Amino acid sequence: MRRENEFLYTKLYKNLKEQICTGLIKPGEYLLPENELSTHYGISRKSVRHALSLLQEDGLIIKRVGLGTMVPEDLIIEKSEPQTLRILTPSPAFFLERGLPIFIEAFNKKHPHIEVKVLGLPVDKFWESFRSSNEMGLIADLVLVPDMKFSEWSGSTDFVDIAPFISDLTNSIYPKLMNHFGSEGKMLAAPFTFSSVFFACNPRLFEQHGIPVPNDRWSFDEFIAAAEQLTLVQDGITTQFGFSMHPVVNRWLALAVMNGFAPRDQANHTQILSRTLSVIQDLFFRKRIATTFPDMVWPRTPFIHGKSAMVLTTTFEMANWQNDDMDFIPKVIPMPFDNDRSTLLLANAFMIPASSQNVQSAVSFIRSALEDATQRELTEQTLFLSVKEPINLQAKEDPYLHSLNIANNQIDNDYFINELFDDTVRNALEEEMSMFWLGLEPPSSIVDVYDKLILECVQR
């Protein structure tokens, strides 16, 4: 036990020394309090004090009574090899090319000696790959997670509570987002961008067909009529569809939410789900005014190539369209609401693994990403949204935010998928619906599967 304790305090000593010598903790800045160092590095207060004592002997820290432990203001740091901050992300992910570089640049302006390395893990086996990476010694300092991956993680003690480190930066973050990633005063993930699921159109196709682009609330019947007019058939083959969407649950479920599929009304879930799937079947297989596309070509969709006039999408997906050679500018349009003004929400967040040996640098990265200047640059230079409402209000037009259903507290009416059903139900539905999207299975079969899954959840 004695040898183990010696190893632990030596490890902390070397870690903090590296952070000071690389400039992560700058002269005049304070270290984390002893109790927080003990918690985040998983060692005793005695070991923490021993490590700090060694740093003090090296002249790297001084103790200020009543204030804490700080790096001396007059300390001169010699240049050393760059420290590495490792970020693990799902791949493919829309945020990597357009958004993450903005965060990395903002971080490197403050910490030029820290090299940020990004490693993508397969999105369909993300947590499995994450565990394997840890076992092989590839320890991540930050993990970028979509909300659905966040809800899949079951080991709540394996990540650092970020709340104490960013409390001064979260006042203007949408409460809906804060509540999703935090509970009981803790926050295991810090959201940095989000999106609703909404409608966008190709205004050029609307103009060519003499159809006015919707600027205000319109009904689902009006949407159907527009989609029918915007569908072109030549020699018995459809060459342009009125509508398209990716066949994943975080798209089509928005249509159910628009029609009242909500946590507070679970008694009507089966009826609403059946009606929604029947409408989808009408669009795709009876009226033939809508199309979808396989995973292998995503995100190169029919919409991008002018082969569909409307699409159900997100800001994540739209930001990625900037990588393609589009000959039109997509326009966000109001959703065709019938009964309820609600839609789905998606979000990306950062988590800090408890195994990270660079907690302070990971915290600094998150803080840099959440600073107003960085969030403002994200919204002004890309199509991504800020998690801070005042910044979106400054950067985006009011009709745009209304079309996304996030203006004037509209976001409070929207739902993350795990508010509607758990991951077991979501994953099973995705698997069971493969034949449905080929037109080979009726809505009743999917509804039966859903009812069975819900019953199993209740019995558990």
- pLDDT tier for residue 295 given thresholds of 50, 70 and 90: low
pLDDT of the residue at 323: 64
Q: In CATH, what is the architecture of 198-342+421-459?
A: 3-Layer(aba) Sandwich (3.40)
- Helices then strands (H, E): number in the chain? 21, 16
pLDDT of the residue at 209: 95
Of residues 450 and 266, which shows the higher confidence score?
A: 450
Instruction: Report the Cα 93 to chain-centroid distance in Å.
Output: 9
Q: Domain locations in the chain?
A: 2-70, 83-194+347-399, 198-342+421-459
pLDDT of the residue at 459: 59
| 283-288 average pLDDT score | 96
pLDDT of the residue at 403: 94
pLDDT digits (tens, 9 = 90+) for 427-460: 888 889 999 999 999 999 999 999 888 877 755 6
Res. 1: pLDDT tops 60:
no
pLDDT of the residue at 217: 82
What's the pTM? Answer: 0.82
Encoded tokens for 102: 């903005």
Quickly name the fold that domain 2-70 has: Arc Repressor Mutant, subunit A (1.10.10)
Res. 2: pLDDT tops 50:
no
198-342+421-459 and 83-194+347-399 share a CATH fold: yes
pLDDT of the residue at 324: 64
| 1-11 average pLDDT score | 53
**Residue 31: count of CB within 10 angstroms of its CB:** 22
Distance (Å) of CA 325 to CA 108, 240, 304, 329, 447:
31, 19, 8, 11, 40
pLDDT digits (tens, 9 = 90+) for 59-81: 999 998 888 899 998 887 765 55
Query: Which of 386-405 are b and which e, b meaning 16 or more Cβ less than 10 Å from the residue's Cβ?
Result: bbbbebbeebbeeeebbbbb
Share the mean pLDDT of the chain: 88
CATH assignment of 83-194+347-399, among 3.50.50.60, 3.40.190.10, 2.60.40.420, 3.30.530.20: 3.40.190.10
Lowest-pLDDT choice from 27-41, 73-87, 112-126, 283-297: 73-87
pLDDT of the residue at 420: 92
pLDDT digits (tens, 9 = 90+) for 150-174: 988 866 568 999 999 999 999 999 9
